[in-house]
Structure 1
Amino acid sequence: MAKKNEYGGEEIKILEGLDAVRKRPGMYIGSTSASGLHHLVYEIVDNSVDEAMAGYATRISVTIHADNSITVVDNGRGIPVDRHPVKKIPTLEVVMTILHAGGKFDNSAYKVSGGLHGVGVSVVNALSKHMVVQVKRDGKIYEMQFSRGHTTEKMKTVGTSKATGTTTTFWPDEEIFETTVFNYDTLRDRLQETAFLNKSLKITITDERELAPRVEEFCYTGGIVDFVKFLNEGKSVPDGLKRPIYLTGASEPDAPVERTGEVEVSMQWNTSYSETVLSFANDINTPEGGMHLEGFRTALTKVINDYARKQNILKEKDSNLTGDDVREGLTAVISVKLSDPQFEGQTKAKLGSSFMRTLVQKTVTEGLTDYLEEHPKQGREIVKKAQQASKARNAARKAREATRRKSLLETASLPGKLADCSVRDPEMTELFIVEGDSAGGSAKDGRRRDIQAILPLRGKILNVERVGDHRAFSSETIQSLITAIGTGVTTGLGDGGDFDITKARYHKIIIMTDADVDGAHIRILLLTFFYKYMRPLIDAGYVYVACPPIFGVKVRNKIHYVYPNGRQAEDEILAETITELGLAPEEPEETKDGKPQRRRRGYTVQRYKGLGEMDPKQLASTTMDPKTRILQRVTIDDAVMAERAVRELMGSEVSYRRDYIEKHARDARFLDA
């Protein structure tokens, strides 16, 4: 018998087959939250896209069924069904039940592939309570069924067909996932992005959960050129740059297989102050960039500087334009296809294939140089915009440095009306950004002074999506925010910004505003600020939104608080709460003057429109106390659509906000009467 705390062989556990996936699903799909749930769909769709990139599939359809099961259909070659030479079982069963079994480890089946590790579809199988796969191949329709990674029905022939392809239907396992309800918009956005990256591939998504099924189809003959136009919708584009630039290149014909690749780049400048540069490798979004993005940025900066010097736009005494200068207002998509991509980790967030840096740099250098020589008017406009950006960036740098100096000077007395906390360990501390002096006063009196700091805001902060860095950093409110948080900002001002997340003074930054329209507006403005200048705080999970109550139902001497849930109107939530408390609903009662009056029996209801309407003790117990409060962590699941939403809803083009309001007006729950 092993002694207590003794470490021996019996402590070493061996997980066979797909058991490891079920034990540690986060290692394979990122998380068991909604993000991981949707990743299951992406894994199967990626396999279908690989068939399209190989030239065998032209259509993919995704259906969300009423029970939240998913069906993915493609018209590719179909997963092989013959007897596997090693495992001696159908190859379909090998692919579905064995990790690292696939046709993507050499270049015989797929010259280009997004799914590299052979874990995608088998992981989906492991994390599904039920899965049915049908393969149309060799004139027949084959079917197999699985559950939680194991075969439940052997392969059988269920029909005949002249077509080919694979149909996969799966039911996510509620034992694994926090939710098994798919979000239509999340899937829609990903599928639209995939259609942009695969010219002329037709992708359809259907949602059968509504009485009238919702169906959308995506197919773009212009590929990433159409993608750039889509990303630039809502932005003003200079007249001379209305047509996106499109560049292509490929490796030499005699290049070794592991250094074989193709490059597509499309770009277009607009009049905004921010850049949107997206990079993809084999259709996989690489949010952390990598070698292809490095090659693009290096070539872009050099070519524009060389052109400006050659055309004598930049004089000898002038400094070179920086990368930030030439990329201000740039929207670009870089898409590379390569036979043996090297990614950093299973999440594939960064491309590490070094030869791609050289190939992209060569493609952009040669292609953009030719474009500028053939389009001198557009070339001068691009350089002029970069020069204007350089001047504004220098002014913004001065404003930011003033903010930094102010921060150093105010180490003892922090900015604005900040009431700091006594604890200095950022992992333990919280900053509440509060709307108004009244609420700020209640928050200061009700807080835990050791770990909770309060920063009241006076009015609405600037909409930083509509102004340049110079105006943003000149704002006293924004200076106070930057100084209080302590990290600096991520904007590139010629030196790439000075953001340092290790200098964050608080690891919980909580936006606390009134539960009304004005409060929602301030919340959106603050989130826009964090998205543009401090996004790593969001990615690290440091940014939260407080959820104050909207009603207090007082029964005798006890108050029961009612919180919004985002799904129901306020009156509906209140009525449910009253019923749950076993109270009689309010009833109309005729008075002497004949006018109906509402009478409540044994209780009173108070509507909290402002945080200042609660006394410090109430505010603390309902909204600030870690034991009783409700916080919503701010996350960004899709950077492309997040950027688009910020641009359209917070930008200068009114038409997009009007269209959004018209489309979503019936979903509004908490507008003031």
Structure 2
Amino acid sequence: MTVEPSTYGAEQIQVLEGLEAVRKRPGMYIGSTGPSGLHHLVYEVVDNSVDEAMAGFCDHIEVTLLASGGCQVVDNGRGIPTDPHPKYPGMSAAEVAITVLHAGGKFGGGGYKVSGGLHGVGISVVNALSARTEVDIDREGQRWSMSYIDGGVANEPLRQIGPTPPSTDGIERPTGTTVRFWPDPEIFDEVTFRSQTLTERLQMMAFLNAGLTISFTDERGEEPERTIFCYENGVRDFIVHINGPKETLFDDVGHYHHSEEAAGAPMQVEIAFQWNTGYNSDGLHSFANGINTIEGGMHEEGFKKALTNTLNRYAREKGHLKEKETNLQGEDIREGLTAIISVKLADPQFEGQTKSKLGNVPVRSMVERATNDRLGEWLEEHPTEARRVVAKAIAASRAREAARSAREATRRKSALDGAGLPGKLADCSSKNPDECELYIVEGNSAGGSAKDARDPATMAILPIRGKILNVERARPDRMLRNAEVTSLIQAVGAGMGEEFDLPQIRYGKVVLMADADVDGSHIRTLLLTFFFRQMKPLVEAGRVFIAQPPLYSTKVGKETVYLKDDEARREFLVGRPKHSEDFARLKGLGEMDADELWATTMDPERRTLLQVTAQQAAIADQVFSVLMGESVESRKHFIQTNANDVRFLDI
């Protein structure tokens, strides 16, 4: 290889000035230029307003998606200071905040004791990535205004434009900040905000700040849509919201808070908790200064350790655990637990720009002490609830041991039986997983047709009988005693749960094939719930697909056209209003012959396999608890909120 001569000197070392660095490498500041990065701009502006609320100077935040495509955030906080900045001659503090990276009131200047935005990218990056930014500030009875274009180029300098205008909606705003921005289409892949994404985040912020009102308005439709979030009980209301569709062990939400100082800096923790009858042990949700720490951190570690110690101590003192019995493990105690851990501290140390994990070591000790003391008091004061929690944890411990024994028995059986494949599996001849497909087919009769229709070189058929066990409500040991579930595990060949090993799968595609009716949707959703819970890497790798036979067929000339459902039939007629041929309603899978099944569903040249995303599988995972356990209004809201994914699953 010939290397062209080149020079590498001082002139090749570039220095990006001001906001130029942000526009050059936006991913370094907001993660991506896709939808997550776009919505991150809104979060940054809203977080500034929430910081004002946590400091005690703001009780109302309004977020509006403007018809013009921009976003407006209004708060009734103190307003960004407008006086000259001592270190930047000729610039006001407000202009510094919006044009200088890492400028703000959260770096030890006494403006905020607690802030979620300390490690955020700030309003200056929002300005850098926007085609236009406008800021109005109300302070001391006067309104100040400034605007920027093209990623931070000054358009109108900060100027006083008159007195603070009177409120038109009854909300007191003698002071505050208004930020309007329009994301730059030259930076982002798309600049259309998604209402659902924003409302979920705004509702969470309202839960975490008791009494704070956050309103959201979408002005992009024919009629503005407005939603208001305000929760007087804060994190306790958060627990009620999460556990809404579930059956709880007790009615009242447990709650405690604690505050102390470390090296002169204040720290506080607030925890709400409630157990439900479910079997999940991943119900912990932690936050630091309002930031969702999805990877946990020191506050979660402190809570988990103290929770395990406190419950074991209580169980032994009350005689629920005998002397020779082993201690309950943390996963046993956390089974069915929903808990919110919210800490506030002066100098949060997050691991990484995404702020997904809290690293402050003193927080762990504080949360541990608070939980040891206050949870212990709660257990003593609520003996009935405590007895139910301990009984559930003991049952979980026994089930865990039973599941371990069942897995070992399954592995031993597989070793003794050679390949350990279920007897009703019609395997394919190819041993290359990348070209092999496993069809999971509803019913033995449909399985027979599929076996006759398939390409035996690459298509394996596993018929399942009826609706498999609802894994949403079943413990692992009971699942492993279910013949259909065991057949699925053996056929896929990579284990289950925490032991699932994706490289060991025997098929590159797992295809769910059920009837295009209500029962078919039910079975398909049960299967997706199983894969999401027990073989999640399989779903995340894009290896799970849906093959759904059509409901109708009709003739267009000499060609047979197959239509998935009634909606597809209506769309077909819209495009062909003069179509005169009858529509034949196809039979169920079990009533199709091999030729029909191949032509409509299995022929690689004509079939359409729908790839299941992790989010769609997660929606399936929620379906039973939501659609079977909540009110009609709650079910409607769930379906509307997840309309595309629910429609995909034909639920």
* TM-score w.r.t. length of structure 1: 0.80
Higher alpha-carbon deviation: 229-238 or 607-616: 607-616
Residue 551 of structure 2 contacts residue 585 of structure 2 at CA under 8 Å; is this kept in 1? Answer: yes
1:384 equivalent among 381, 391, 395: 391
CA distance in 1, matches of 2:452, 2:79: 64
Q: 1:383-406 CA deviation, whole Å, 9 max, x = no partner?
A: 222222222333333333334444
With over 3 angstroms needed to count, the CA separation of the structure-2 counterparts of 1:99 and 1:475, relative to structure 1, is farther
Partner residue in 2 for 1:498: 499
Amino acid at match of 1:159: G
Partner residue in 2 for 1:351: 358
Matches within 5 A, 1:385-424: 385-406=392-413, 408=415, 412=419, 414-415=421-422, 417=425, 419=427, 422=430
With over 3 angstroms needed to count, the CA separation of the structure-2 counterparts of 1:377 and 1:118, relative to structure 1, is closer
Partner residue in 1 for 2:169: none
1:230 equivalent in alignment to 2:241? yes
Residue 620 of structure 2 contacts residue 649 of structure 2 at CA under 8 Å; is this kept in 1? Answer: no
1:109 equivalent in alignment to 2:111? yes
CA distance in 2, matches of 1:436, 1:171: 54
Q: 1:236-272 CA deviation, whole Å, 9 max, x = no partner?
A: 233xx322221212233xx215x64211111112222
Matches within 5 A, 1:566-585: 569-575=567-573, 578=575, 584-585=576-577
Deviation at 1:505, TM superposition (A): 5.7
Residue 225 of structure 1 contacts residue 244 of structure 1 at CA under 8 Å; is this kept in 2? Answer: yes
Deviation at 1:20, TM superposition (A): 4.6
Residue 466 of structure 1 contacts residue 650 of structure 1 at CA under 8 Å; is this kept in 2? Answer: no
Partner residue in 1 for 2:135: 133
CA distance in 2, matches of 1:11, 1:511: 56
1:242 equivalent among 248, 251, 255: 251
1:266 equivalent among 251, 272, 279: 272
1:144 equivalent in alignment to 2:155? no
1:649 equivalent in alignment to 2:626? yes
Partner residue in 1 for 2:298: 291
Residue 406 of structure 2 contacts residue 480 of structure 2 at CA under 8 Å; is this kept in 1? Answer: yes
Partner residue in 2 for 1:198: 209
Deviation at 1:293, TM superposition (A): 1.1
Q: Note the residue ranges of structure 2 that are not aligned, 5 or more in a row.
A: 165-172
Partner residue in 1 for 2:31: 30
CA distance in 1, matches of 2:25, 2:259: 40
2:227 equivalent among 210, 213, 216: 216
Amino acid at match of 2:241: F
Q: 1:523-576 CA deviation, whole Å, 9 max, x = no partner?
A: 322232233334455556655556877777865566777779xxx943453245
CA distance in 1, matches of 2:241, 2:148: 40
1:172 equivalent among 174, 183, 191: 183
Higher alpha-carbon deviation: 190-199 or 12-21: 12-21
Partner residue in 1 for 2:72: 71
Deviation at 1:288, TM superposition (A): 1.8
Partner residue in 2 for 1:615: 598
Deviation at 1:463, TM superposition (A): 1.9
With over 3 angstroms needed to count, the CA separation of the structure-2 counterparts of 1:445 and 1:23, relative to structure 1, is farther
Residue 30 of structure 2 contacts residue 121 of structure 2 at CA under 8 Å; is this kept in 1? Answer: no
CA distance in 1, matches of 2:214, 2:279: 33
Partner residue in 1 for 2:156: 154
CA distance in 1, matches of 2:609, 2:510: 15
CA distance in 1, matches of 2:493, 2:524: 20
Residue 532 of structure 2 contacts residue 621 of structure 2 at CA under 8 Å; is this kept in 1? Answer: no
**Secondary structure of residue in 1 paired with 2:64:** strand
**Secondary structure of residue in 1 paired with 2:351:** coil
Q: What is the CA RMSD across the aligned residues, in angstroms?
A: 4.0
Aligned length: 627
Q: 1:4-55 CA deviation, whole Å, 9 max, x = no partner?
A: 4979569877655445544544443334443333333222211211111111
Amino acid at match of 1:274: N
CA distance in 2, matches of 1:606, 1:50: 62
**Secondary structure of residue in 1 paired with 2:233:** coil
**Secondary structure of residue in 2 paired with 1:471:** helix
2:312 equivalent among 305, 311, 325: 305
Matches within 5 A, 1:499-648: 499-500=500-501, 503=504, 511=512, 513-538=514-539, 543=544, 555-556=556-557, 569-575=567-573, 578=575, 584-586=576-578, 599=580, 613-615=596-598, 619-621=602-604, 631-635=611-615, 645-646=622-623, 648=625
Partner residue in 1 for 2:170: none
Residue 122 of structure 1 contacts residue 149 of structure 1 at CA under 8 Å; is this kept in 2? Answer: no
CA distance in 2, matches of 1:18, 1:193: 31
Residue 286 of structure 2 contacts residue 294 of structure 2 at CA under 8 Å; is this kept in 1? Answer: yes
Partner residue in 2 for 1:91: 93
Higher alpha-carbon deviation: 459-468 or 503-512: 503-512
With over 3 angstroms needed to count, the CA separation of the structure-2 counterparts of 1:614 and 1:168, relative to structure 1, is farther
With over 3 angstroms needed to count, the CA separation of the structure-2 counterparts of 1:648 and 1:449, relative to structure 1, is same
CA distance in 1, matches of 2:437, 2:385: 50
Identity, % of aligned positions: 47
**Secondary structure of residue in 2 paired with 1:189:** helix
Deviation at 1:649, TM superposition (A): 2.4
CA distance in 2, matches of 1:546, 1:71: 44
With over 3 angstroms needed to count, the CA separation of the structure-2 counterparts of 1:103 and 1:414, relative to structure 1, is farther
* TM-score w.r.t. length of structure 2: 0.83
CA distance in 2, matches of 1:154, 1:219: 36
CA distance in 2, matches of 1:294, 1:136: 43
**Secondary structure of residue in 1 paired with 2:343:** strand
Residue 70 of structure 1 contacts residue 170 of structure 1 at CA under 8 Å; is this kept in 2? Answer: yes
Deviation at 1:316, TM superposition (A): 1.0
Deviation at 1:412, TM superposition (A): 3.2
Deviation at 1:442, TM superposition (A): 5.2
Deviation at 1:334, TM superposition (A): 0.8
**Secondary structure of residue in 1 paired with 2:105:** coil
Deviation at 1:303, TM superposition (A): 0.8
Deviation at 1:367, TM superposition (A): 0.8
Q: Note the residue ranges of structure 1 that are not aligned, 5 or more in a row.
A: 491-496, 579-583, 588-598
CA distance in 1, matches of 2:448, 2:82: 67
Residue 250 of structure 1 contacts residue 261 of structure 1 at CA under 8 Å; is this kept in 2? Answer: yes
Q: 1:271-330 CA deviation, whole Å, 9 max, x = no partner?
A: 222232211111111222121111111111111111121122221112211112222221
CA distance in 1, matches of 2:69, 2:554: 37
CA distance in 1, matches of 2:383, 2:43: 43
With over 3 angstroms needed to count, the CA separation of the structure-2 counterparts of 1:353 and 1:175, relative to structure 1, is same
Residue 57 of structure 1 contacts residue 75 of structure 1 at CA under 8 Å; is this kept in 2? Answer: yes
Amino acid at match of 2:99: T
